[in-house]
Amino acid sequence: PYEVILLFSRCKSVFYPVTCEISKCSVICVQGILLDEASGVSRTQQPVMPAGYQPPKIVVSSWNRRVSFSETFHLLHAKNIQRPQLKFKEKVDNSNTPFVSKIFSKPNAVKPLPSYFANKHIRKERPEDLDVPAALADFIHQQRTKEHVDDMFSHPYQYELDHLVMPESLKCKPDVQMYKSLAESTCQFINTLDDLVALNEKLAKMCEFAVDLEHHSYRSFLGITCLMQISTREEDFIIDTLELRSEMYILNEIFTDPAIVKVFHGADSDIEWLQKDFGLYVVNMFDTHHAARCLNLGRNSLDHLLKVYCNVNSDKRYQLADWRIRPLPDEMLKYAQADTHYLLYVYDRVRADLYDTGNGQPTLIQQVWDKSRDLSLKKYVKPIFTEDSYMELYRKQKKSFNTQQLAAFRLLYAWRDKLAREGDESTGYILPNHMMMKIAEELPKEPQGIIACCNPTPPLVRQQINELHQLIKQARETPLLKVCAQTNTIYLFCELRMFFLSFVFEEEAAAAPAHLTVAQQKAHSIMGSFENPFRMVQHFSLVHAFCQVALCTYSLTFQNSFSVFTIEGNSHFQECQV
């Protein structure tokens, strides 16, 4: 591929013969450049733009941002990790029953704890433990439960939070205390009961501390809180909540102390996780997320607050890590520590800004504190499966299914929920939503078709492929409803509306003076409705409610894909009217 070519090199107007070995394509390129220069064309010269021309700005986003090697994300996960649920002293309750608080003692109580929570015998009593027939056992258990139903589902600290007032220390502008650098701060890992008790005693002497949680939800039906981070002005603590899950209730003494401010950021989920896993409740909380919203900072994330107030770029390389890993790598411990290390300083800064924005008045601070208190009243609600649960997910997907596809979706939803509860796995691990929608839409005739709809195929789908095949086969046997009864539906609505409107006008006419004609009486009722519009709203609300009851009673089936209605017993409408 190489040839010996004789070239001439020009130097000070003298040509020297030069012999070298180069490729053919290089010679062509060099010749092209020399010819351009000889003709007066320069390839390196910038084009001449008209006066006032502004070059377009390059928008940097996630798709074209240059990322250095130090910013790569670490998706740490552990496939073969032992399930921490197996070590829990109290088995995880995935039953299809409402959540009942785990609290059994109430520190800092103004109103005593209801007897249902204090009596462990009543709380742990199950129908199968009674030495009577099963049907009678269920009846006895229901009767005993009715006596405590109000207490079972109430917030244990409802009374204390309702009567809580903002501390005087929050009503004045704070003195901002600078944080220590991460290198200078000490971080203690708490994984024994003695260390947890010592931490509780230390925090009881503080005026405020910052809290954050790390949660895992992919390999658990209800999710697991894996870590709790707590920071004071001087030191940081990381609590292994998997190891101390049954002992975390000890911290209720400080979490419910109204004299101590608990600083969170975005505590919506944290409040629920504390109740669900540990029976912990929070009294006197300040949420910096609501402070950021009140200050209109544009972005309300903790990353943005750290950048604005601390000039710190938070490290998010481990935000998708599996926090069940034990022992935790040093990098993940540093990441967890940083989540609360700067939060008390941010707490001081946002309060100072709220005070200045409020013209020296604590009005805005009071608003943030009130929102934080309302958030503390939030109660965890366990997902309950019903026959219509699948419809909520179906509406969110904005799909139009026929009766067979909808039947398949309903059966798959029920199968997934049952398997997830029994195996303590998330529904996303059993069968993700988009795969379930794909299977219901395609209605595969063979097991291989079901697997083809899943990429990658979830492990339990491959294991339960025969059962799934039978569910799809059952759905395909559902008859397709193509009865075009849209006119009957319109007729039904019109008849219902006219019937109730006539009833309304007759009632209003009866209240009108008797000497008026029928037309005058109706006009009188219409004028009365303008004077009291709530009266007509009540009537039309009654019409709307009756329409819904009638449509459900007479088995109205609505199909979005065909805009088709099927009404059974439409001939009985006259009986309904009577």
| 51 vs 370: CA distance, rounded Å | 58
Of residues 147 and 29, more confidence is placed in 147
Statement: residue 495 has pLDDT above 60: no
Convert the pLDDT of each residue in 477-491 to its tens digit: 999 874 333 433 433
Angle between helices 288-295 and 343-357 (to 10 degrees): 40
Strands 235-240 and 186-190: parallel
Convert the pLDDT of each residue in 213-262 to its tens digit: 999 999 999 999 999 999 999 999 999 999 999 999 999 999 999 999 99
**Stretch 53-57: mean pLDDT:** 61
Confidence of residue 314 (pLDDT cuts 50, 70, 90): confident
| 429 vs 77: CA distance, rounded Å | 14
The residue with tokens 């409408």 is: 573
Statement: residue 111 has pLDDT above 80: yes
Of residues 518 and 282, more confidence is placed in 282
Tokens of 479: 């008859």
**Phi/psi-derived region of residue 179, left when phi > 0, alpha when psi is between -120 and 50, beta in every other case:** beta
Statement: residue 476 has pLDDT above 90: yes
pLDDT confidence of residue 321: 87
**Stretch 488-498: mean pLDDT:** 43
Statement: residue 570 has pLDDT above 80: no
Statement: residue 136 has pLDDT above 60: yes
Confidence of residue 306 (pLDDT cuts 50, 70, 90): very high
Of residues 43 and 112, more confidence is placed in 112
Tokens of 15: 């040509």
| Mean pLDDT of all residues belonging to the chain | 79
**Phi/psi-derived region of residue 311, left when phi > 0, alpha when psi is between -120 and 50, beta in every other case:** left
pLDDT confidence of residue 20: 44
| 4 vs 101: CA distance, rounded Å | 89
**Least confident stretch, 110-114, 440-444, 520-524:** 520-524
pLDDT confidence of residue 577: 40
Task: Supply the DSSP symbol for 309.
Answer: I
Of residues 141 and 279, more confidence is placed in 279
pLDDT confidence of residue 320: 79
| 167 vs 362: CA distance, rounded Å | 11
Statement: residue 423 has pLDDT above 70: yes
pLDDT confidence of residue 518: 63
Alpha helices in 226-267 (DSSP H): 252-255
Tokens of 403: 């009766």
| 331 vs 318: CA distance, rounded Å | 8
Convert the pLDDT of each residue in 355-411 to its tens digit: 999 999 999 999 999 999 999 999 999 999 999 999 999 999 888 999 999 999 999
Statement: residue 537 has pLDDT above 50: no
| 496 vs 552: CA distance, rounded Å | 14
Confidence of residue 66 (pLDDT cuts 50, 70, 90): low
CA 496 from centre of chain: 41
Confidence of residue 524 (pLDDT cuts 50, 70, 90): low
Convert the pLDDT of each residue in 317-360 to its tens digit: 787 789 999 999 999 999 999 999 999 999 999 999 999 999 99
For residues 249 and 279, is the Cβ–Cβ distance under 8 A?
yes
**Stretch 172-192: mean pLDDT:** 93
Statement: residue 458 has pLDDT above 60: yes
Tokens of 469: 């095949």
Confidence of residue 141 (pLDDT cuts 50, 70, 90): low
| 553 vs 568: CA distance, rounded Å | 9
**Stretch 177-197: mean pLDDT:** 94
CA-based nearest residue to 550, from 513, 519, 575: 575
The DSSP result for 276-295, as a single string, is: HHH----SSEEEHHHHHHHH
Please state the pTM of the whole predicted model.
0.70
Of residues 266 and 38, more confidence is placed in 266
| 467 vs 134: CA distance, rounded Å | 30
End-to-end distance of the chain based on CA atoms, in angstroms? Answer: 101
Statement: residue 26 has pLDDT above 70: no
Q: Which residues pair with 212 in a beta bridge?
A: 229
Statement: residue 504 has pLDDT above 50: no
For residues 437 and 399, is the Cβ–Cβ distance under 8 A?
yes
